[in-house]
Chain A
């Protein structure tokens, strides 16, 4: 969706402000927001793509004025409400008012958390068909504006580039985010000239590489 998360190429936010000796967390609640978000994902009630979509459905004025952990917390609340794991009445009351329904998986134990962090949750899947494109192929991204989740940023739509790397087959977020299955697709590293993306005035020394799933691409005309 064309939400506030899709920031590439926007202007007017001011300079990037690095923070010397930046602490890992700026308030104790940020630590909890990170931990609760990752722990709750272990219930198996949603996937990372669905959570990213929950965050990007925050209305743009709110998204752009929220800190990143606020965005995470709002995304988590939306997801828990949508999955029926908590109720608005409970959020208002600040405590549990009923027993939880059964979840896909039980709450992560300390051991399972440690193992899960060490192992990760890779999204690469076995290939079941040949890749349509090869390194060196000229490709054009589709001009799409889906109302659901996609990982093709606006600035890279309808643009011509070159496949630089065939990454393999990966879970397709446009499907997975909506609980329509992993639908794994080939994914490619595609490099675009800065002038193709931003016009003749762009920095001539710039290229931008974007990882694109196969359904985002067609052979360049």
Chain B
């Protein structure tokens, strides 16, 4: 890696300052806390939820999130009957502006191979078990649409502020391999 970077830098094909901007962006500013804010807003504000259903890209942009690998967003909602799970079997497509860079497991052969044929097995790998009657909807990100799962709001959170709700929203709950934290597990 170092050799390739040196060659490209010596040739003037890459600019070290531009690399620093990119790394700083994904290490400090863009990550799953962005998505958690979208989810918490959707849980709190029915008008926002409607806008998210109508045009997720625009609704997410209202909170200041958008750009590379999130140009055309779709939000899929979990309900008591339906659980959604997002994968990219062909590479590693992932909604960067709301979730940041994907974890290693998301890009790995076990996840990409198994999610579309045995999603309940994948959920078991994450310690999640759903009723047999729950409909499992898997979304394979084969085009340039990027999917964000809207998990169900945990019971016992009536009257909670958006900030407090956002603390329950895990990254995995927005991919579909996890569920939001229970209220008693909320970060202090």
Residues of A in contact with B (beta carbons under 8 Å apart):
5-11, 13-19, 22, 24, 26, 29, 31-36, 38-40, 42-43, 52, 55-56, 64, 67-68, 73, 76-77, 80, 85-86, 90-91, 94-96, 99-100, 103, 107-110, 112-114, 116-124, 151-153, 155-156, 165, 167-168, 170-171, 187, 189, 191, 197-198, 202-203, 205-213
Contact = CB atoms under 8 A, between A and B. Distances in A.
Nearest to B70: A120
A17 B110 contact: yes
Q: Which 9 A-B pairs have the closest CB atoms?
A: A211-B143, A8-B89, A122-B71, A96-B10, A100-B11, A94-B3, A110-B17, A113-B18, A35-B19
A205 B142 contact: no
Contact of B142 (A10, A165, A197, A210): A210
B18 A118 contact: no
B117 A119 contact: no
Contacts of A198: 117
A116 B140 contact: no
B118 A120 contact: no
B140 A91 contact: no
A18 B116 contact: no
Interface string B1-23: 11111111011111101111111
Interface string B136-149: 11111111110000
Contacts of A96: 6-7, 10-11
Contact of B12 (A11, A18, A100, A210): A100
A191 to B, nearest CB: 8
A204 B134 CA distance: 10
A32 B19 contact: yes
A194 to B, nearest CB: 8
A77 B70 CA distance: 26
B124 to A, nearest CB: 8
Contact of B8 (A40, A153, A156): A40
24 contacts: A6-B89, A8-B90, A8-B116, A16-B122, A18-B125, A22-B103, A35-B20, A38-B22, A39-B19, A39-B22, A40-B13, A73-B4, A80-B4, A91-B4, A95-B6, A110-B18, A120-B69, A124-B72, A151-B90, A153-B142, A167-B143, A205-B134, A207-B136, A209-B138
A103 B68 CA distance: 22
A122 B61 CA distance: 14
A49 to B, nearest CB: 10
Given A8-B89, A18-B172, A86-B7, 8 more contacts: A17-B108, A18-B105, A18-B177, A35-B20, A55-B91, A95-B6, A107-B13, A187-B143
B160 interface: no
Contacts of A122: 71-72, 144
B180 interface: no
Contacts of B120: 203
Interface in B57-90: 66-72, 74, 87, 89-90
Contact of A108 (B15, B69, B143): B15
A85 B13 contact: yes
A17 B6 CA distance: 34
